[in-house]
Amino acid sequence: MANGVLAERLENYLEHKTHKGIFAWILSTDHKRIGILYLVSMVTFFWVGVTLGFLMKLEMLTPGKTIVDAQTYNTFFTLHGIIMIFLFIIPGIPAVFGNFFLPIQIGARDVAFPRLNLLSWYLYIIGGLFAIASLFLQGGPIDTGWTFYVPYSIRTTTNVILPLLGAFILGFSSILTGLNFITTVHRLRAPGMTFFRMPLFVWALYATAWIQVVATPVVGITIVLVIIERALHVGIFDPALGGDPLLFQHLFWIYSHPAVYIMILPAMGVVSEIIPTFARRTIFGYKVIAFSSLAIALIGYFVWAHHMFSSGMSNTSRAVFSLLTFLVAVPSGVKVFNWVATLYKGSIELRAPLIYVMMFIFLFSIGGLTGLVLGSLATDVHVTDTYFVVAHFHYVMFGGTAIILFAALHYWFPKMFGKMYYEKLAIWATPFIFIGFNMLYFTMFILGYNGMPRRYWSYLPEYQTLHIISTVGSWILIAGLAIMFGNLIYSLFKGKPAEANPWGGVTLEWQIPSPPPAENFEEIPVVNHGPYDFSIINGNSDGKS
């Protein structure tokens, strides 16, 4: 692109060093470097979680003991849940891709508070270490499940306080990121970048940031209360002291339900970026998608107690929350329809990122639609706390968010690292992932409907066949992921240099060189059209420049 030539002279952010050695990374306040920091640390934590998931599946091969005993299994799913939720999927897309691309997409040089941004990363690392440290301490790792339900979390003798503290610190990190993004969006948009000219990824991050800011403190206080109750025996939740465990569940889910939208909204934003680029046409219903992000963020607050349908709350509550849960599904549906409509009469190039997006639409729809089964009282009371729920949330979190993480990684890889990956290999990984994934998790729907409860170390023999299929699925899935990650890592070193705009995208990040210069823009751009205006490119039939 035109200003690409000009910018060639600029030092890119990987060359531009403010400090020596490792300090060039861990002391840098450049939002791009912080994004990479998150990526690296997240992948590290993440593999711990994956290994635990893999081991859990091995244990499920036979009823009774296969490889570990009950206590170990209980700590496995707890740590697996904590790591995947708090260390991987919640910070996931905002911290990595949000940090890297939000400022670029709105034409800013950095986020509003760069130093706070770096602090968030440090808090993230500290929180993560806290969460994992319990593995190595006297008393053994936490075994409460990632939901920390009282009174078990007050009674168990394992190390609960440390991981709780970790979760609290991670919450702080998440709040600071959210606060930073909101301020950035309000204050640092380039001239002409009105709210309705912002890319939908930015809209999604903006909505997410609001949830981060207003929901996270609620779980923060809940965690603090459990800690002081455990440490000092202040009467708060413990029924022995007159407390009500249901109130803990309310407070916990007041955060943790909106948190699932923290996980999915940014992913939806990425989808809204990738589809127009590869269909080379403007998105269908820009405003509807933008507003549905806000709607999800808002209504997302009103449904938390659908996690408590069998907990003994009032019948009124059950009805109200069931109704509201059904309504929250609608804005997600609207998005799905709009995405599919965006493919209509496009000029579609089927590249790796788009394949992942298609996979996402299919898997997320299954996950979301089974969410309706869970939102419905009659069926939820049967399948709650069974493998049906486990299947649901792996479909939405893994099939939804994590698959989009892969898509985003492929989509923005050339821009972030200035290298191209091997397209063929990237595409080859997808059938493995798709088949493995469905074998692994679809079986869990059947298991759950047949009454196999979750968090079970042992199970009745009649469930074994399905468990075996599921475990084999996990091996196929991991093979697919190994191909995918292997390809990316190899390309990092050996890939061909990437062009500034390999896909023919029109949002701002594609108008600067790959990798981006340290200051992003030599001159702050002036924006005079919407985010997905392909009319210029469509002028010449072969769009690539």
Partner 1 sequence: MENPEISTPIAISESEKTEQARHLSIPHQHKDAIGAKIGMWLFLFTELLLFGGLFLLYMAYRLQYTKDFVVAASELNLVLGTLNTIILLTSSLTMALSIAAIQRGKKKLSVAMLLATIGFALAFLVIKYFEWTAKFHHGIAPNSPELLSKPNGEIIFYGMYYSMTGLHALHVIIGMIILLFMLVFLLRGSISKNDYIKLENSGLYWHLVDLIWIFLFPLFYLLH
Partner 2 sequence: MEKEHKEHLIPYGTYFLVWLSLISLTVLTVTVAGIELGRIALFVALAIAFVKSTLVVSYFMHIKFDDLIFRIFLLVALVTLASIFILTATDIFFR
Partner 3 sequence: MFVSASNYAKNVDSVMLYIIGISVALLLIITFAMIIFVIRYNRKKNPIASQIEGNKTLEVVWIIIPVALVLTMFFYSFSVYKESRVVPPNAMNVKVEAKMWAWKFYYDNGKVTDTLFLPAGRPVKFNIVSQDVNHSFYIPAFRIKEDAVPGRENYMVVKPEQIGAFDIACAEYCGLNHSLMYTRVYVVPEKEFAQWLNGEVDDDYLRKYVASHSEGYKDYLSGSYAILFAKGCVQCHNIDERKGIGPSFPELRRQFARVNVGGKDTTVVIDKEYLRESILYPETMIVKGYEKQAMPSMLNKIKDEELELIVDLLYSNFVKNKQ
Task: Name the residue among 261, 259, 248 with its Cα closest to residue 308.
Answer: 248
- Residue whose Cβ sits closest to ligand HEA: 368
Q: How far is the CB of 266 from Cu ion (least distance, A)?
A: 17
Which residues on adjacent β-strands are paired with residue 177?
A: none
Binding test (CB under 6 A) with ligand HEA, winner from 31, 33, 57, 415: 57
Sign of dihedral through CA atoms 13, 14, 16, 17? positive
Distance CA 415, CA 502 (A): 9
Which C-beta is closer to partner 1: that of 70 or that of 116?
A: 116
Question: Would you count residue 319 as binding partner 3 (CB under 8 A)?
Answer: yes
Sign of dihedral through CA atoms 508, 331, 283, 351? positive
Binding test (CB under 6 A) with ligand HEA, winner from 426, 481, 512, 518: 481
Which residues on adjacent β-strands are paired with residue 497?
A: 419
Residue 13 dihedral angles phi and psi, to the nearest 5°: -65, -20
Binding test (CB under 8 A) with partner 1, winner from 72, 183, 365, 379: 183
Q: How far apart are the first and last CA of the chain?
A: 7
Q: How far is the CB of 406 from partner 1 (least distance, A)?
A: 31
Helix axes 403-417, 423-449, angle to 10 degrees: 160
Binding test (CB under 5 A) with Cu ion, winner from 80, 257, 335, 467: 257
Question: Would you count residue 200 as binding partner 3 (CB under 8 A)?
Answer: no
Distance CA 205, CA 269 (A): 7
Q: Tokens for 190, please give them.
A: 């380039």
Q: Which amino acid is at 463?
A: Y
Question: Would you count residue 438 as binding ligand HEA (CB under 6 A)?
Answer: no
Binding test (CB under 8 A) with partner 3, winner from 18, 23, 65, 228: 65
Q: How many residues does the chain have?
A: 545
390 binds, among partner 1, partner 3, ligand HEA, none (CB under 5 to 8 A by kind): ligand HEA
Kind plus residue range of the DSSP H or E element containing 328:
helix 315-343
Which C-beta is closer to Cu ion: that of 257 or that of 351?
A: 257
Which C-beta is closer to partner 2: that of 221 or that of 340?
A: 221
Binding test (CB under 6 A) with ligand HEA, winner from 369, 425, 435, 479: 369
Question: CA-CA distances (angstroms) from residue 203 to 236, 272, 294, 498?
Answer: 39, 10, 8, 28
- DSSP letter at 528 equals -
235 binds, among partner 1, partner 2, ligand HEA, none (CB under 5 to 8 A by kind): partner 1
Which C-beta is closer to partner 3: that of 416 or that of 444?
A: 444
Question: Would you count residue 392 as binding Cu ion (CB under 5 A)?
Answer: no
Distance CA 317, CA 236 (A): 22
Residue 359 contacts residue 434 (beta carbons within 8 Å): yes
Which C-beta is closer to partner 2: that of 185 or that of 408?
A: 185
Mask for 139-178, x = binds partner 2 (CB under 8 A): ----------------------------------------
Distance CA 75, CA 64 (A): 17
Question: Would you count residue 6 as binding partner 1 (CB under 8 A)?
Answer: no
Question: Would you count residue 285 as binding partner 3 (CB under 8 A)?
Answer: yes
Task: Name the residue among 91, 55, 89 with its Cα closest to residue 74.
Answer: 55
Which residues in this chain contact partner 1 in the complex, by CB under 8 A? 108-110, 112-113, 116, 175, 178-180, 182-183, 186-188, 190-192, 213-218, 220-222, 224-225, 228-229, 232-236, 241-244, 247, 250-251, 254, 282, 341, 344-345, 524, 526, 528-530, 533, 535-536
Which residues in this chain contact Cu ion in the complex, by CB under 5 A? 257
Which residues in this chain contact partner 2 in the complex, by CB under 8 A? 186, 210, 214, 218, 246, 250, 254, 301-302, 304-305, 313-317, 320-321
